[in-house]
């Protein structure tokens, strides 16, 4: 093989490739090495050049120095390594740490412009075709093929997002801390931490005390980084609190009542029946009352004078109360207070006057 003469025609080149191609599965990256020869075999394209000469020398070298292989043991698992380059894809089948077979293929010109992810996916498809296996597909966004790995990746992603929110490019510097965090967290499936499951004792708690002078520079750097991390966490928590307060305040109203005011009360009709029993819980009025305010409790709570048969605690948050407008039982431009004949006075409702007049022409707001 080392003394093989240089091909001077397409026929001679086909003879050389025929012999070497028979052993291609024993040669790593055979397809990429022999790619220049494939171009020379096109019609009227046989022009021996420097690239072909380098490929001819390289192919003779690898053919005469193939690694020592082992026989496959199908009772044990195989490890398949895939790779992709600009010009081709390659596979390596390993068993017990040694190669069993190689597979390589030159990419067609239309595939050479694809992204790295697409070329690697083509290598996986070659595995399925060459071995006849069923792959557990994953992607760059979901780099897992089982639910447990997906859950671990999600936890680590959330941790790194919290620790690098202001500097996302520094995520790789937090991998050690993320590993320690995950291994020292309690797992419900294990009923302990992975650290305790592996070593048999609880993980030690590293102190965040003041920086002490030490002769060991690595220890000083570690303490300094931990203090910086603690300060970063405090700043991030403060910003999160301010952000949550900002959006919560948008939905709040400045509501305040005086002793003696009449207010309406919001309750869940499905949870109580002692204040008032209503036939249609879903379509009945949203508010109960009005009830007088005999006292104020704290800054945001009020005590109401509920009926004597009520079994509800009489102190309510201000968000559950609504002031009764003066003269609410009188007619106005938008509505009319209605006292229903079969209901007690506290169940009087506010109805649209024009709607009542259209449905009940004989309705009189001042009987």
282-307: pLDDT as tens digits: 666 778 878 899 999 988 899 999 88
Residue 315: what pLDDT?
Answer: 92
Q: Quote the CA–CA distance of 226 and 203 in Å, as a whole number.
A: 17
Query: Biggest alpha carbon distance in the chain?
Result: 122
**Rounded Cα gap, residues 52 and 74, in angstroms:** 39
Which residue has better confidence, 364 or 260? 260
Same domain? For 127 and 40 the reply is yes
328: confidence class by pLDDT, cuts 50, 70, 90: very low
Residues 275-294 as b/e (b if ≥16 CB within 10 A, e otherwise) read bbeeeeeeeeeebbbbbebe
The alpha carbon of residue 236 and the mean position of all alpha carbons in its chain are separated, in whole angstroms, by 20
Mean pLDDT of 306-314: 83
Answer whether residue 60 shows pLDDT above 60: yes
Asked whether residue 29 falls in the same domain as residue 80, the answer is yes
Local confidence band at 207 (pLDDT 50, 70, 90 cut-offs): low
Distance (Å, rounded) from C-alpha 325 to C-alpha 304?
A: 17
**Is 294 among the domain residues?**
yes
Q: Give the burial string for 175-209 (b: 16+ CB within 10 Å, else e).
A: eeebeeebbbeeeeeeeebebbeeeeeeeeeeeee
- For residue 167, tell me if it sits in a domain: yes
Residues 184, 217 share a domain? no
Same domain, yes or no: 289 and 180: no
- Give the chain's mean pLDDT: 79
Residue pair 349/310 in contact (Cβ under 8 Å)? The answer is no
Instruction: Look at residue 138 and tell me if it is in a domain.
Output: no
Q: Are residues 153 and 107 in the same domain?
A: no
Domain count, the chain: 5
Angle subtended at Cα 349 by Cα 347 and Cα 353, rounded to the nearest 5 degrees:
155
The neighbour count for residue 238, using CB atoms within 10 Å, is: 10
Whether the per-residue pLDDT at 91 is higher than 70: the answer is yes
> From start to end of the chain, where are the E strands?
79-84, 88-95, 98-106, 262-266, 287-292, 295-297, 301-303, 315-317, 321-323, 336-338, 349-351
Token digits of residue 198: 């592996």
Question: Which residue segment(s) compose the domain that 98 sits in?
Answer: 10-131
Q: Kindly tell me if the per-residue pLDDT of 13 is higher than 60.
A: yes
Name the band, by pLDDT with cuts 50, 70 and 90, for residue 122: confident
Tell me, what's the pLDDT at 137? 64
Same structural domain, 241 and 342: no
The residue among 131 and 75 whose pLDDT is bigger is 75
Is 139 contained in some domain? no
Q: Are residues 114 and 179 in the same domain?
A: no
What percent of the chain is predicted at pLDDT more than 90? 4
- Is the model's pLDDT at 181 over the cut of 90? no
Q: Does 26 reside within a domain?
A: yes
d(CA 148, CA 298): 49
Residue 142 lies in a domain: no
Per-residue pLDDT, 178: 87
% pLDDT > 70, the chain: 81
């Amino acid at each position: 093989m080392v003394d093989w003469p240089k091909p001077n025609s397409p026929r001679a080149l086909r003879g050389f490739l025929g012999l070497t191609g028979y052993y291609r599965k024993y040669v790593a990256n055979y397809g990429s090495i022999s790619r220049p020869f494939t171009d020379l075999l096109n019609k009227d394209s046989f022009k021996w050049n420097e690239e072909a000469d380098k490929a001819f020398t390289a192919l003779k070298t690898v053919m005469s120095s193939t690694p020592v292989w082992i026989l496959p043991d199908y009772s044990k698992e195989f490890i398949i390594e895939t790779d992709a380059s600009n010009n081709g894809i390659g596979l390596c089948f390993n068993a017990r740490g040694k190669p069993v077979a190689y597979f390589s293929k030159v990419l067609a010109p239309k595939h050479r412009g694809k992204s790295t992810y697409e070329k690697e996916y083509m290598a996986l498809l070659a595995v399925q075709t060459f071995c006849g296996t069923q792959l557990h597909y994953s992607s760059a966004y979901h780099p897992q093929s089982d639910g447990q790995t997906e859950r671990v990746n999600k936890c680590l992603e959330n941790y790194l997002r919290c620790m690098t929110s202001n500097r996302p490019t520094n995520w790789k510097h937090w991998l050690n801390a993320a590993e320690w965090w995950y291994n020292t967290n309690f797992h419900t499936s294990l009923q302990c931490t992975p650290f305790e499951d592996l070593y048999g004792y609880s993980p030690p708690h590293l102190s965040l005390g003041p920086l002490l002078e030490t002769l060991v520079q690595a220890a000083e750097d570690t303490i300094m980084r931990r203090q910086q991390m603690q300060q970063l966490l405090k700043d991030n928590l403060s910003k999160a609190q301010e952000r949550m307060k900002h959006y919560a305040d948008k939905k709040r109203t400045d509501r305040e009542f005086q002793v003696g005011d009449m207010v309406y009360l919001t309750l869940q009709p499905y949870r109580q029946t002692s204040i008032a029993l209503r036939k249609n819980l879903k379509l009945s009025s949203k508010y109960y009352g009005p009830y007088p305010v005999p006292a104020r409790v704290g800054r945001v709570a009020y005590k109401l004078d509920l009926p004597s048969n009520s079994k509800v605690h009489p102190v309510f948050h201000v968000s559950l109360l609504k002031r009764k407008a003066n003269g609410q039982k009188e007619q106005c431009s938008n509505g009319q207070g209605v006292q229903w004949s079969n209901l007690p006075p506290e169940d009087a409702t506010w109805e649209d006057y024009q709607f009542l007049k259209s449905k009940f022409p004989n309705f009189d707001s001042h009987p």
